[in-house]
Amino acid sequence: MSETWTITELAQEFDVTTRTIRFYEDKGLIAPERLKQRRIYHPRDRVRLQLVMRGKRLGFSLDEIQEMIDLYDADPTESTQLKMFIVKLRERRKLLQRQRNDINKVISEIRKREQQCEKLLHRE
C-alpha cells in the first residue's frame, strides 16, 4: 500500500493551516480521497501541494499554478510543463526586476528628501 497522509500531517509538513489545504482542494488544485468525513492524501496530492506551495513562494497566482499543474496531467513527460514554467519564471523575474528598479528609485528619492529636510533643520 502506498504512503498516505492526513490533512493535519500535510499542514504541519508544509507549514500551512488545514483551512489553506481545504481551500486548495476547493480550487481543484488537489483532490484527496474521501472516507466519510476523512480526507486521505496520496503521493500525487502531496506532490501537487508541494507544487502549489512552490508556485506561491515564487509569486505565481493560483490560476497560473493550476495551469501548470494541468499541463503535467496532460503531458506526463513534463516537457510542456517545463517549457511553460521557464516562460513564467522569466516573466516573473522581469516583473520583479522592474519592481526592484522602482523601489530603488523611491528609496533614492526618499534619501534626497531626507537630506533636504536635515539641511533645512540645521539652517535654523
3-state SS class at 78: coil
Instruction: Record the pTM.
Output: 0.78
The whole-number average pLDDT for the span 13-20 is 97
3-state SS class at 35: strand
CA distances from 5 to 39, 73, 74, 99 (A): 9, 21, 25, 39
pLDDT in tens, 64-108: 999 988 887 777 788 888 899 999 999 999 999 999 999 999 999
At residue 63, does pLDDT exceed 70? yes
pLDDT in tens, 95-105: 999 999 999 99
The whole-number average pLDDT for the span 17-31 is 96
The whole-number average pLDDT for the span 7-12 is 96
Q: What is the pLDDT of residue 75?
A: 77
